[in-house]
Amino acid sequence: MSIGDWRLKTEDWGPWLCIGLLLASCARAPKPKTPQTAPVTAPSGPAGALVPLPALVEIGPGQYFTITPTTVILANADPAVRRIAADLAERIRRATGITPDMPAVWADLFAGPVVELVVQADAAALGDEGYDLSIGANLVSVKARTPAGLFYGVQTLRQLLPYWGEYEAVMFRQPRPATLPAVHIRDAPRFPWRGAMLDVARHFFSVDEVKRYVDVLALHKMNRLHLHLSDDQGWRIEIRTWPALTERGGQTEVGGGPGGFYTQAQYADLVAYAAARFVMIVPEIDMPGHTNAALASYAELNCNGQAPPVFTGTDVGFSAMCVDKDVTYRFIDDVVGEIAGLTKGPYFHMGGDEVKTLTPEQYRGFVERVQTIVQAHGKQMIGWDEVAATRLSPTSIVQHWRPDAAHGELGRAPHLILSPGNRAYLDMKYDRDTALGLNWAGFVPVKTAYDWDPATLVPEASAAAILGLEAPLWSETLANIRDVEFLALPRLAAIAELGWSPVATHDWESFRLRLGAQGPRWTAMGINFYRAPEIPWRQ
């Protein structure tokens, strides 16, 4: 049975759920349409625990799997695979009090239950990020062509384990064996670009705070974290050839707080932390507008040679680099060069949005010159959708954000990332009572964030041009990671599902019930998510 018709078959799944997930209350499978006031259950069957929904979920022919003190994890010697296996072992320990052995050699000696993690170079059908997970009485098998696919298979497994495995320190007086439902899942993402953006410029977030956000992305199989590293209110990354950027430009933020910045070593640590979770950091230095922090740090970047004061308000559009001066391009070359050297991925985002003080000709000339610089440092350029009005080379990428951007131009973009403000902007308020966030693109309740199709949003764009989607979170109103989490979740999970799950499975009723099932897990992770009243949160 494919997951597309799971709702028709929920009665078949009820017994498995009862055994597999140890829920006492489900002698009869619940109907998916749970009234908001009734006690809450997710859709029956293993899929009820999963966000994003896998492409194919079949109820296994065999028995559920029990994790016991004799359970072993088999993984080959590849360091990436060993790391994934060690992570799984730790999650199992937290969920059960049992630490599975990870023997260094494969053997047929294991009579007890086995969890195997297998990278199969010839599993071409699974693609770059797909996996196959089957759970039977004595064997849990995760197979993939790449470590990334294996990682996503393990994230699915993680959502099938008891939620209390997300607590950092669970102490068990004695092991508490857990079961996993008998199931076969074959899964691969719909889009290669499943991103989030965090604005660390308007307010600064520490390395540890950003790592927490990376953890949330990885759990939901997202694979890009775009960092907005500079804006009018702050410059957040050390540039050795232009030290005042952080010595002066990094010391402020919206509201006048102390700001902050990442040293290059800290940034490299963040890149490595994210990469270990298959999240690529995409750096953005916004230009020629949104540059007051840089202009305040170096007088020569200004046309009049005078540095403006630092800025701690929230206006946009007033600042611009002096596009007619050579020093501007020497500066950009140095900045792009240093950041490119720290960046594993092939992308550099140059911003390009909301410039109100340049002529269209000045703007076009600037973007095209920056595109050349970015490429000279071996990177592909990304820009906000204003850059669609310039001559872009075939490798460049346009990030669509303005709901009213000209579709004709977007349709000509070589590549597109979709972040429509009225759907994907996590800094829009949920409704008029939301204390944090903005509302220039309207209110964005969870259903609005979920109920759209990236493939048809810009009818003029060819399917091949659409890389995927990204959920930006701008931080004018967000002082710390708790505020970030409140606006991000649950909507980030909606964007994750749009990026991962096949369009044929799109179903708000199914999604909201599965979302409700994430509540205990997110709570155990300490996430300050918004308990949207339309979602049946499980206690």
Amino acid letter at 131? Y
- By beta-carbon proximity to ligand TNX, the closer residue of 231 and 507 is 231
Measured distance CA(349)–CA(358) in Å, rounded: 20
Measured distance CA(125)–CA(132) in Å, rounded: 10
Beta strand extents in 403-458 (DSSP E only): 415-418
CB of 518 to ligand TNX, least distance (A): 26
CB of 437 to ligand TNX, least distance (A): 8
Nearest Cα neighbor of 454 from 412, 484, 410 is 410
The number of CA neighbours under 13 Å toward the Cβ of 415 is: 17
Alpha-helical runs (H) found in 317-420: 326-342, 360-376, 407-412
- By beta-carbon proximity to ligand TNX, the closer residue of 129 and 470 is 470
CB of 109 to ligand TNX, least distance (A): 57
- By beta-carbon proximity to ligand TNX, the closer residue of 45 and 249 is 249
Residue 141, classed as helix, strand or coil, is: strand
Contact 490, 529 (CB under 8 A): yes
Phi, psi at residue 56, to the nearest 5°? -140, 125
Q: Would you call 99 exposed, middle or buried from its count of C-beta atoms within 10 A (0-12, 13-18, 19+)? A: middle
CB of 34 to ligand TNX, least distance (A): 34
CB of 536 to ligand TNX, least distance (A): 30
Contacting residues for 504 by C-beta, under 8 A, at least 6 apart: 4
CB of 474 to ligand TNX, least distance (A): 3
- Cβ count within 10 A of residue 66: 14
- By beta-carbon proximity to ligand TNX, the closer residue of 261 and 384 is 384
- By beta-carbon proximity to ligand TNX, the closer residue of 71 and 291 is 291
Amino acid letter at 423? R
- By beta-carbon proximity to ligand TNX, the closer residue of 363 and 384 is 384
- By beta-carbon proximity to ligand TNX, the closer residue of 261 and 474 is 474
Helices 207-219 and 264-276 meet at what angle, rounded to 10? Answer: 20
Is 354 one of the catalytic residues? yes
Amino acid letter at 210? V
Residues making contact with ligand TNX (CB under 6 A)? 316, 353-354, 384, 401, 425, 427, 438, 474, 476
CB of 373 to ligand TNX, least distance (A): 20
Catalytic entry in 300, 354, 509, 534 = 354
DSSP string, 468-534: EEEEEE--TT--SHHHHHHHHTTHHHHHHHHHHS-GGG--HHHHHHHHHTTHHHHHHTT------TT
CB of 221 to ligand TNX, least distance (A): 25
Q: Would you call 138 exposed, middle or buried from its count of C-beta atoms within 10 A (0-12, 13-18, 19+)? A: middle
Residues forming the active site? 354
